Amino acid sequence: MIVYYSENTDAYFNLAAEAFFLHHLKDDVLFIWRSNKAVVCGKHQNVCAEVNFAHCIVNDISVCRRLSGGGAVYHDLGNINFTFIKNLNEGLEKAVNYKQFLNPVRDILLAMGIKTEYSLRDDLLLNNYKVSGNAQHIFQKGMRILHHGTLLYDSDLPSLGNALRSQGNYIGKAIKSVRSEVTNIRNWIDFGSVDIFLQKFLNEIEKHFNIPVIALEEKHVIDIDLIKNQKFALNSWVLGYSPNYNHTRQLEWGNTLLNLDMTIEKGIVQNIEIHDFNRQKSFEQECQNLLGMEFNMINVKNVFNTLSFDHYIQLF
């Protein structure tokens, strides 16, 4: 196994790194990384239904989609991410086994004086509060599995709550997140700064596996950047991959209350109507212009160019 640590704190880059290790390497990998503020949704989720877009944009929080399923999670520099990528030598029938990856993590944390327990969903709990959420993805063609988890040490939990509070009603077949009460490890055991905790965690990883933690190889960084730019940072992946859905909500546009009814299929606006409570339509030309367009911030801003950010962001 190779153990990598990423100094890069761009969430899109590190999600692309996971994909690179999964699809292009043959070795088993443990990848440790952090990111600047980000919301990372599961592969099969409706991002708009999980995220408060206005809060994320105003607070410079990246909105991302990962390869694995499961629910949306919040990242910042107070959260450490661990990603195991392993060859499925035992076959697909034994692939989904969270404990084979989490038992070593629990042992490493225990060596640091942190005693965790499993939840019913195989997340890690500290004093009955969640400190680690986990998800998996199987790459069947390559017979490899990706397991990744978060580790909350000193994360901004109020921002987490605000970022993961969507607006409006969304009807579709997307996977919805299951919320859990979370806590920071630092609330219970204070190691000092996040950097101190991270270094202790990396030291214990080296002891446990008897393998040095190394930086990402420069030859890999070029390929990872390419994957980031061609997939993980694109609107067509982040927003466009959402399952088809209908979005209805009340719009507070100035002193006027309006109703939105919008249908998105394969990331494209199929129908949009904005009307008052008497069903009198508003912004008919703008709605007509948005039909058939990719649903993203640039297109919405350009079409509704007479509106302020506080108004058009409500379409998400």
Q: Is the pLDDT at 168 greater than 90, yes or no?
A: no
Beta strands in 43-200 (DSSP E): 62-65, 73-75, 79-87, 117-118, 124-126, 129-132, 134-139, 144-152, 169-172
Q: Is the pLDDT at 167 greater than 90, yes or no?
A: no
Tell how strand 124-126 and strand 117-118 pair up.
Answer: antiparallel
pTM value is 0.92
Contact (Cβ atoms closer than 8 angstroms) between residue 283 and residue 304: yes
Choose the weakest-confidence range: 16-30, 114-128, 170-184, 295-309. Answer: 170-184
Helices (H) and strands (E) in the chain, counts: 11, 17
Q: Is the pLDDT at 285 greater than 80, yes or no?
A: yes
In this structure, CATH architecture of domain 245-315:
2-Layer Sandwich (3.30)
Q: How many CB atoms within 10 Å of residue 207?
A: 11
In the chain, the percentage of residues whose pLDDT exceeds 90 is: 83
Q: How many CB atoms within 10 Å of residue 167?
A: 18
In the chain, the percentage of residues whose pLDDT exceeds 70 is: 99
**Residue 65 exposed, middle or buried by CB count within 10 Å (0-12, 13-18, 19+):** buried
Q: Which of 105, 139, 142, 111 is nearest to 123 (CA)?
A: 105
Task: For Cα atoms 38, 14, 128, give the angle at the middle one, nearest 5 degrees.
Answer: 55
Q: What is the pLDDT of residues 225-266, one digit of tens each?
A: 999 999 999 999 999 999 999 999 999 887 889 999 999 999
Q: Which of 33, 209, 1, 200 is nearest to 109 (CA)?
A: 200
279: confidence class by pLDDT, cuts 50, 70, 90 = confident
Please determine, looking at this structure, whether the domain spanning 2-238 carries the CATH number 3.30.930.10. Answer: yes
What residue ranges do the domains of the chain occupy? 2-238, 245-315
Contact (Cβ atoms closer than 8 angstroms) between residue 83 and residue 33: yes
pLDDT, position 90: 76
pLDDT, position 199: 98
Q: What is the pLDDT of residues 75-109, one digit of tens each?
A: 999 999 999 999 988 767 667 788 999 999 999 99
Amino acid identity of 285? Q
**Residue 286 exposed, middle or buried by CB count within 10 Å (0-12, 13-18, 19+):** middle
The most confident of 126-130, 174-178, 276-280, by mean pLDDT: 126-130
Q: Is the pLDDT at 150 greater than 90, yes or no?
A: yes
User: Is 164 or 35 the better-scoring residue by pLDDT?
Assistant: 35
Contact (Cβ atoms closer than 8 angstroms) between residue 34 and residue 80: yes
Contact (Cβ atoms closer than 8 angstroms) between residue 294 and residue 236: yes
183: confidence class by pLDDT, cuts 50, 70, 90 = very high
167-196: average pLDDT: 89
pLDDT, position 245: 95
121: confidence class by pLDDT, cuts 50, 70, 90 = confident
Count CA atoms closer than 13 A to 206's CA, side-chain side: 11
Look over the chain and give the mean of its residue pLDDT values, rounded to a whole number. 93
Contact partners, residue 57, CB within 8 Å, separation at least 6: 297, 309, 313
Helix axes 194-209, 99-111, angle to 10 degrees: 120
pLDDT, position 108: 98
CB crowding 71-83: b at 16 or more within 10 Å, else e = bbbbbbbbbbbbb
